[in-house]
Amino acid sequence: MDLFSFFSRKQSSRDVAKDRLKLLLIHDRINCSPDLLEMMKTDIIRVISNYMDIDEDELDIQIGQTKSEGSNGSVPVLYANIPIKNVRNAGNQ
Amino acid sequence: MINDNSVIFKGSKDGLIILLSPDIDFNNLKTILEKKVEDAKDFFKDAKTSIMFKGRDLTEEEEYQLLQIITDKAQLNVSYIYDEKSSMEPSKSMPADKFNDGRIQIDQTKYYKGTIRSGQCLEFDGSIVVIGDVNPGGEIYAGGNIIILGSLKGIVHAGCKGYDKAFVAALAMNPMQLRICNIITRSPDNQAYNTHSKTFPQIAYLYEGNVYIEPIDYKLLDNL
Amino acid sequence: MSQVIVVTSGKGGVGKTTTTANIGTGLALKGYKVVLLDADIGLRNLDVVMGLENRIVYDLIDVLEGHCRVKQALIKDKRYSGLFLLPAAQTRDKNAVNPEQMQKLCDQLREEFDYIIIDCPAGIEQGFKNAIAGADRAIVVTTPEVSAVRDADRIIGLLEASELRNPTLILNRIRMNMVKRGDMMAMEDVVEILAVDLLGVVPDDENIVISTNRGEPAVTNPDSLAGHAFRNVVERILGNDVPLLDLDISEGFMGKIKKIFGIGN
């Protein structure tokens, strides 16, 4: 049994639980609903579109966590992955 | 100077309530009662009623003295005396106004079909017959008798308004608590999980302040 | 100086009532005067775990509504003279009580007892608010499961919002063989996530089921590992520094015994 799990290189369920929990609690703690994220996403698209051509379908916004610089705990961060199709020339506008 | 509010008569549908001030001297109270009864003599004449003294803790002796005044001065036929405290004591879960009815009506019976589960509570002034089980945590309060055609594993209180001739009968008698009149008994500690031991019909009754639980037989029924 | 401790969890079924019974009994074993207060109105269970269910005449609601005095409702434990239970009502619901009444009751009980341990109902509604109203400190019970830890986190947030700061954590029902296999979160994982002080780790122990069956808290059983863990928890409540139970060794030990008797896996 242990031998198989070694070769399959699957993450142990203990680590899966830990990772899921961490993400879950970040959402719970800042009380950020999917609706709110969606609204944020629309707003971000609107603002950035003024300057750049972006791929709206591939846009990804997530709340995660990162090591805090001050203390040794972690703080929530907002990740945004926004693929750019074409940078508009400021002079063209 | 007689303070008119020291003794107040109040009629209720079941009898006469006499409110007594707790603040004045008992002898004073007697004088005031005497005068009031005298005044209302015609009103009381030959009436038959029950009386309740309220508002003051009375010793038996005091109660007797007051009663003498009432029966002497007015031709009042007192059929029943009840006081607030003793009628409140036996059961906690009945609302107070139910107790102000001094008479005990055990001849009426309520039938209940089904299981009384934990947290459910059946209350009735008369007797209760349950066709089903009473589970642990289920409660039954009856002014009269309680008969369970099933297994009794909950809490029952027969004669909860002070009727000491009340009995509890069940096909399987394993109550958490069994109360008759003002006596509370509970099952022995070491039998909590030994519920299969008593599966024959039994009856519980009060005799000289003790609750007895016995198999139902003819001899016993004759003596009840 | 007496202390009011509320045992809470958010999620149901993680062992609040068992923890309450064991901590209370453990403190009584140490000679303190303890009252266990069941705040789970409508779904009381502390009486059954303590084996006192057939002695209940008056309950919490009777006290709060003035049907009886506090002393009349207190049930004396059958084993320890300093231990008492104030049972919840079974035929009412949580809305029959308000936080002010509970606070008043706790203050009243302080005069009589060294420790008042409150068994909080599951959930975050009225019953929870009632249970924590009079408390000085809170113990959060959780198990190493995603759902229980998540609810514990929510509860810790709510406790802090209600001025019950620095709650301590009891990690219940941990199974070291699963942790080692990588199939259960370890004590370090849960503490890291919740970021609160650990009051104790209690292993999953068959003795808990047996002791609940009998109505005798496991803390009194010298052979029970969980009982040992609860005795350590009690020491820490009293302010004594006790090392965490080395569950690993104990399990190895138990494994050896099992092997000796030929019932190992």
pLDDT in tens, B99-144: 434 445 667 899 999 999 999 999 999 999 999 999 999 999 999 9
Section A12-28 average pLDDT: 88
Confidence bin at B96 (pLDDT 50/70/90) = very low
Here the tokens at position A80 are: 């945004």
Inter-chain residue contact C215 with B192, CB threshold 8 Å: yes
Phi, psi of A59 (to 5 degrees): -65, 135
Q: Which of B17, B15, B85, B84 is nearest to B50 (CA)?
A: B15
Q: Read off the tokens for B108.
A: 């009426």
Which 10-29 residues of chain A touch chain C by CB within 8 A? 12-15, 17-18, 20-22, 24-25, 28-29
What residue ranges of chain B are covered by domains with CATH 3.30.750.50?
7-86
When the pLDDT of each residue in chain B is averaged and rounded to a whole number, the result is 79
In a domain, A4, yes or no: no
Per-residue pLDDT, averaged over B49-72, amounts to 77
Please tell me the distance from the alpha carbon of residue B17 to that of residue B54, in angstroms, as a whole number. 7
Q: What does the CA dihedral C9, C10, C11, C17 come to, rounded to 10 degrees?
A: 40
- What is residue B88's predicted lDDT score, i.e. its pLDDT? 37
CATH of the domain at C130: 3.40.50.300
Kindly list the residues from chain B whose CB atom is less than 8 angstroms away from the CB atom of residue C51.
189, 192
Number of domains composing chain C? 1
Q: What is the CATH number of domain B7-86?
A: 3.30.750.50
User: CB neighbours of B222 closer than 8 A, spacing ≥ 6?
Assistant: none
Mean of pLDDT values over A75-82 = 80
A58–C contact, CB cutoff 8 A: no
Give the domain range for residue A59.
32-93
Q: What is the residue range of C83's domain?
A: 3-260
Q: How many domains does chain A have?
A: 1
What is the spatial distance between Cα C218 and Cα C210, in angstroms, rounded to a whole number? Answer: 8
Which CATH topology does B109-223 take? Pectate Lyase C-like (2.160.20)
Contacts of B189 in chain C (CB under 8 A): 51, 54, 78
Q: Identify whether A36 is part of a domain.
A: yes
Q: What is the pLDDT of residue B91?
A: 40
Tokens of B70: 């009432």
Most A CBs within 10 Å: which of C189, C190, C196, C265, as the mutation test of the A interface?
A: C189
Q: Is residue A12 part of a domain?
A: no
β-pair type (B48-54, B15-20): parallel
Residue scoring higher pLDDT (B87 or C127):
C127
Closest in C68, C90, C213 to B92, CB measured: C68
State whether C91 and B193 contact (CB < 8 Å): no
The answer as to whether A13 is a domain residue is: no
- Alpha carbons within 13 angstroms on the beta-carbon side of residue C265 total 3
Report which of B91, B174, B178, B191 is spatially closest to residue B135, judged by C-alpha positions.
B174
Q: Does the residue C265 lie in any domain?
A: no
Q: How far apart are the first and last CA of chain C?
A: 50
Determine, for residues A15 and C182 on separate chains, whether the beta-carbon distance falls below 8 Å.
yes
Q: What pLDDT shows up at residue B95?
A: 40
Q: Tell me the shortest Cα–Cα distance from C88 to chain B, in angstroms.
A: 11
Is pLDDT above 90 for B147? yes
**Could you read off the pLDDT tens digit of each residue along chain C, which spans 265 residues?**
899 999 999 999 999 999 999 999 999 999 999 999 999 999 999 999 999 999 999 999 999 999 999 999 999 999 999 999 999 999 899 999 999 999 999 999 999 999 999 999 999 999 999 999 999 999 999 999 999 999 999 999 999 989 898 999 999 999 999 999 999 999 999 999 999 999 999 999 999 999 999 999 999 999 999 999 999 999 999 999 999 887 765 545 555 555 555 554 4
Touching subunits of C (3+ CB pairs, under 8 Å) are: A, B
A86–chain C Cβ distance below 8 A for any pair: no
Residue A22 lies in a domain: no
Taking an 8 Å cut-off on Cβ atoms, the answer to whether B92 and C58 are in contact is: yes
- Distance, in Å, from the CA atom of C6 to the CA atom of C131, rounded to the nearest integer, reads 7
C201-230 per-residue burial string, b: 16 or more CB within 10 A, e: under 16: bbbbbeebeebbeebbbbbbbeebbbbbbb
**pLDDT-based confidence at B156, cuts 50/70/90?**
very high
At least 3 CB pairs under 8 A between chains A and B: no
Closest residue in B to C42 (Cα–Cα):
B119
Q: How far is A21 from chain C (nearest CA, A)?
A: 6
Q: Nearest to residue C157, comparing CAs of A17, A68, A25?
A: A25
Helix, strand, coil % over all residues of chain B, rounded to 5: 20, 40, 40
| Distances from the Cα of A83 to the Cα of A56, A64, C184, angstroms | 8, 19, 38
